Structure 1
């Protein structure tokens, strides 16, 4: 990617290269008034991801997961986070990776996934963008146990939640994950506008 004319990178230093890469950048940024301003920013890179909300129209349910999230605990919240299935791309095509994650996390295999959009959730400090998908599932689509991979530290509970209850769980604070909220609201809007 080329550097735009309003940005000069003075220095970049890798602070950590373990689970992801944390880099401190010293930059000069040309503001809208034409003045140059020096800034120091830290950027975390762990790769890009995909997420998917599966909906069962016969039962009016969505397929969600619940799992432990250490950063949520560190922020002082209940670390057992309710989420739409998701995973890192790790070099795979987003739809292919999402299909594998659905089987791994939930045990469900679906025939059709629709790519909705890509979005950044924390662009002030994290490079990750997430590919958002939706799909339809039925109980007969279960092909594996699900629950995630123990070797990756996963211990995932699969939840079949009525859509209206899931929307209420956003309002009550039971669902706090941004990607899940976006997907649930997209489904609710789609159903309203038919």
Structure 2
């Protein structure tokens, strides 16, 4: 059956170009696609108890990290997700990761996710990366961006609010973490 609406983002428009490298508004941070050379960064991230707690994932080997990175790169080609490493623009030092996942090009919707390495916390890395990715996503046609986090994850709530994502509501018992089911705050940015 033919659609009676035009897709918000034309299928093939993202995968037909390389995943872009982005900059934060202040120019201090760069968001670049993950490379297979980022295995040590991914391993270090998932060795951190806070990242494991909120993302319910561990990496036991370099092979698992390579597999994760391979999937991340393939997801761009499939227009399912985009993952970027967040680093200092001056020297490329990895500070964190930001992702646009569950991309729905027809409706122009996606969800943001991120983590910040322990040594970079408190520097506004996540907030600035969220703002940069939000600007890019709006520019390519995403209409609605969700940012969800456990109601127990207060730092993520602060990031969402500082980045201009007001709280839309709470999804009760909607995410399974290692310690059980969590209520999730849903923050939303509508690009109009």
Query: Which structure is higher in strand share?
Result: 1
Q: Which protein has the bigger helix share?
A: 2
TM-score tier after normalising by the smaller chain length: under 0.3
Larger Cα Rg: Structure 1 or Structure 2? 1
TM score, norm. by length of structure 1: 0.24
Normalising to structure 2: TM-score of the pair? 0.24
